[in-house]
Amino acid sequence: MRFQVLTIGGHAPHPLTGEQVPAADRLAEIVETGAVAEELGFDAYAIGERHAGPFLSSSPTVLLGALAARTSRIRLLTGVTVLAILDPVRVAEDYATLHQLSRGRLELVIGKGAEAGHFDLFGLDEGLQWDYQAEKYELLRRLWCEEDVTWQGKFRPPLTGVTTLPRPYEGRPPRVWHGSATSLNSPELAARHGDPLFSANAIQPREAYTRLIEHYRERFAAHGHDPAGAYVGAGSGGLFIARTSQQAVAEFKDFYEARVRQSYKPHLAGKPGYNTPFRTVEEAIADGPHLIGSPQQVIDKILGFHAAYRHDLQSVTVDGSGLSLPRQTDQLRWFAEEIAPVVRTEAPTTLWQQA
């Protein structure tokens, strides 16, 4: 198993105290956490992209550029790049630049995003989101793999003899994962191209994500790809470690349940992937994708994910826990020292093996 730290750049007031970190300080925390993740031996650090709601991750390329300068080993991922609302030419340029700056450490996770509002913001039809995604990804692949590209599609002006610059680092395009939360469209697109899949594993019951992953593996083989290359990543609903389960509940219950109430989206009630069904911390520990409890509980939860998903990369998030940056660092250190070594041994993978 490989391990990644993910931030989506949340910037909502603390649900219990109402306090809010200034934007400049919050952005500095995001960069600092990436540097800490490298020091602690995590394999990757990912930054999301949001254009609606209380988030500061509308420009992940800027943050990843800062991280490329602060780090030297850790892989830099997105989580996700909302390709459906972006121009593939600009994506090709921006992320090839980051690929060069990081000397090949960049990988993308593309998806339609988890905030419904961004399609209206960019003047796009949400009903066409999967058509946008498929066409724009086809063009992005060509721009990274070919020169003098001539292309015509539905959603942007045609191209004639275009070569985007810079080219990817050492001529090898960044690996692209496909983020999957609720729809079979992303697993299908990933399988068609022989790309890896990243399951959100953040809000819904485990069975919902298992269905998407199983569909991906079936279609991956059906498209003629070697099943050994069907790598899968999985998110989590948030990390909070305590010495005992009782201590975790006592320390995290009020915050967790207040955050659930704060983030509830009534206009999206009943729509999968937007409002968690795990309203109490006890429900989250028992049945949700959250990593809350003692180190052994967290180990057991991740290995439970692995039994269902057979995944290769586990993502964890600490900056939605209401903890100060030093306490977030303590959580990551605890995870790196007591949890990651056990899971790495129990769930080996060939992902990034040659690095």
Q: What is the pLDDT of residues 239-286, one digit of tens each?
A: 999 999 999 999 999 999 999 999 888 877 877 878 899 999 999 999
* pLDDT value for 317: 97
From 111, 350, 309, select the one nearest 217 (Cα to Cα): 309
The pTM of the full predicted model, rounded to 2 decimals, is 0.96
Q: What is the rounded CA–CA span in Å between residue 63 and residue 312?
A: 26
Cβ–Cβ < 8 Å for 319, 33 = yes
Q: Please, what is the angle between helix 325-334 and helix 23-39, to 10°?
A: 20
Cβ–Cβ < 8 Å for 318, 32 = no
With vertex at residue 340, the alpha carbon angle to CA 348 and CA 217, rounded to the nearest 5 degrees, is: 40
Q: What is the pLDDT of residues 183-204, one digit of tens each?
A: 999 999 999 999 999 999 999 9
Which residue carries 């990804």 as its tokens? 137
Q: What is the pLDDT of residues 302-312, one digit of tens each?
A: 999 999 999 99
Identity of the amino acid at 121: L
As a whole number, mean pLDDT of residues 6-19 equals 96
Which residue carries 């409890």 as its tokens? 293
* pLDDT value for 266: 83
Model confidence at 102, pLDDT cuts 50, 70, 90, reads very high
Domains and CATH numbers, the chain: 2-346 (3.20.20.30)
Q: What is the rounded CA–CA span in Å between residue 32 and residue 176?
A: 25
DSSP 3-state of 50: coil
Average pLDDT, the chain: 96
Structure tokens of 296? 């052994």
* pLDDT value for 145: 98
Q: What is the pLDDT of residues 130-142, one digit of tens each?
A: 999 999 999 999 9
